[in-house]
Amino acid sequence: MSVVLEVENVHKVFGKPGEPFWRRLRAKRSGSSENDQNGKNGGKRRVVAVDHVSLTVNEGEILGVLGPNGSGKSTLIRLISTLLLPDEGSIRVFGHDVVREPVRVQALINRVSVEASFFKKLSPMENLIYGARLYGMEGRETRRRVLAILGRLGLKEHDIYNPMEQMSRGMQQKVAIARALLSEPRLLLLDEPTTGLDPRSKREVQAVIRELRDEHNVTMLLTTHDMNEAEALCGRIAIMDQGKVVALDAPDALRALAPSSNGHQPTLEDVFLELTGRVLTSEEAPAA
């Protein structure tokens, strides 16, 4: 089985003394520091966002990254997607280094975030045609591809041509996934894609993720603070806390790390409590 993503001893700190102004500005614009409350470090408060993290993702796998807001999940995604530069360590996507070969990496990946941006007055078709042009794709074949992807994700014709503002959050997240699939990514980065969705919309988006894994062999890294979601979708789960990966294994193996109580099988929250000494919170507000 080939390795798609290699993260080796990656470290990222915000607000370091003497940090170049351009790097602080770039970090601020990308909303990078999850641990920096209200984003007001101003280069004075030193915050370790990702603390010497190492992990790999194999081809066709969904690796979950589970942790509360502020644990470093979204910063890790931004590092992998070339939006941020690591201070230490290396990240390789299909063997390409994200720092030395960012353009090669960008051609292999795409990202879906918790708050996908769209032109809400435009339809899914219009939004995706616009996105396709940014990827250098035009013509009738592109329109046919957009229709095929939206249809595969369960959008009906009247949804495809109506304004996005009339759609539910769950449907909008499906369009965000469709936009990401336009570039045919070999690695899909899903940054809390179901946060804030109602239960039905959450199930719809999770069903799309399963289809991408089971029928299209898409490799995915999924960040979430939803324990049930992580267990349902991921073959392996990395538990993050305060920038560190405190455990990484299959769900059953992780549960074995916590003692059973009154004959009941431990949950992932029990595991988190055992490893960190605190409860895994699951706030619905997206990380900054």
Question: In a structure prediction context, what are the per-residue pLDDT tens digits for the chain, which is 288 residues long?
Answer: 799 999 999 999 998 655 555 565 566 556 554 444 444 444 457 899 999 999 999 999 999 999 888 899 999 999 999 999 999 999 999 999 999 999 999 999 999 987 778 898 999 999 999 888 888 887 888 888 898 888 877 888 889 999 999 988 888 888 888 888 888 899 999 998 888 788 888 888 888 899 888 888 899 999 998 888 999 999 999 999 999 999 999 999 999 888 877 667 888 888 888 888 777 765 444 333
Enter the pTM of the model: 0.82
- Domain regions of the chain by residue span: 3-108+186-276, 118-184
Assign 27 to helix, strand or coil.
helix
Fold of 3-108+186-276: Rossmann fold (3.40.50)
Assign 73 to helix, strand or coil.
helix
Q: At a CB cut-off of 8 Å and minimum separation 6, what does 134 contact?
A: none
Phi-psi category of residue 54: left, alpha or beta, with phi > 0 → left and psi -120 to 50 → alpha: beta
Write out the two tokens for 38. 């209200």
Cβ 179 vs Cβ 127: under 8 Å: yes
